[in-house]
Structure 1
Amino acid sequence: MSARALAVFFGALIFIRIAGRRSFGQRSPFDYVVAILLGATLSRVIVGASPAIPTVCASLAIVLIHRVLAWACVRSPKLERFLVGAEREVFKNGKFNDSEMSAALITKTDVFETARQELHTAGLEDVEAAILERNGQVSLLRKSKNPSGA
């Protein structure tokens, strides 16, 4: 089992290189699918639950499908929006956008939590906009400071 684990470890590294940095860098649902499937499939080789060659081939197929779809997303914004999603502006100019929040299944509490964690403030007075990114994180854009100090 140790020898299989060692072989799968280096095989997985090769697969991750084939998949590209995107697979583990952007952390979108599209990328998580590959990571979960790859881990689940390759784990079967380690424990000997499935024949090694067909299972490794299946893992390679998953990685190649991901690579092709990522390539297609670069060329097709519609496909990218479908597979990876789009960012949503959930707060702007002091007002929450209830329809965007409902579509994204995010609450005002989630936005306030991000303000506490990132800006170390309980309110949104200094926030121009809050955007739910494609990876599920909330980004806060601060209001512009007036250069004259007024």
Structure 2
Amino acid sequence: MISFSYDFWFGTKERLDISEMTIRGVIIFVLALILIRISGRRSFGLRTPVDNIVSILLGAVLSRAVVGASPFLPVVITCLIVVTLHRTLGWFIARNPRFSRFVEGDKILIYKDSKFLEDNMKRVQICREDVMQGIRRQSLTEDLREIDHVYIERNGEISAIRKK
């Protein structure tokens, strides 16, 4: 039977039945949607390390409210703080290139002048086949003669620039 007490909705509970967990799941779904809207498109669009941290953290914290492992209000407040921090970091990243490079890093050249830059590839821990996979996916070719430069981007994706 569903309990509508303050303690149930905003406290913790050792065992939830199906209806209780379902109702909590619906509430958390709506809350997560609101939090994502507050956080902005960046959190699920760019997929930089900072964005991934926010996604993982929100999922982990929100799940505690669904299963009743943590009190509801502290979960909500924690998540609001996380998305506010993410939005603030995004604001600074967009306005300060130095801060952006510090937080998210910079693109790294891994192929140039028909040569793989092995030192840079070791630095980012990728092999030639990883680079080729990125080239095939992005440039739709395996012919390196068509490729001018290849970068590993800040979010870990590989970008290939075709020759003119």
User: Above 0.5 in TM-score?
Assistant: yes
Mapped partners of 1:126, 1:83: distance in 2: 33
1:56 aligns to 2:81 (yes or no): no
Assess if the C-alpha contact under 8 Å between 2:61 and 2:75 holds in 1: yes
Partner residue of 2:85?
65
Contact 1:126 1:142 in 2 (8 A): yes
Please show how residues 1-150 of structure 1 align to structure 2 within 5 Å: 1-144=21-164
| Residue 4 of structure 2: aligned partner | none
Could you say which structure has the larger radius of gyration?
2
Aligned residues with identical type, % of pairs: 43
- Confirm or deny: 8 A CA contact 1:131 1:140 kept in the other structure: yes
Q: Cα offset for 1:75?
A: 2.2
Gaps of at least 5 residues in structure 2 are 1-20
Structure 2: how far apart are the matches of 1:85 and 1:103?
Answer: 13
Letter in 2 for 1:30: V
- What is the DSSP-based 3-state SS (H/G/I as helix, E as strand, rest coil) of the residue aligned with 1:117? helix
Q: What corresponds to 1:148 in structure 2?
A: none
Q: Which amino acid aligns with 1:98?
A: E
Cα root mean square deviation, aligned: 1.4
Question: How far apart are 1:134 and its partner, in Å?
Answer: 1.1
TM-score (norm 1): 0.89
Shift in CA distance, 128/32, structure 1 to aligned 2, threshold 3 Å = same
Where does structure 1 lack aligned partners over 5 or more consecutive residues?
145-150
Length, aligned pairs only: 144
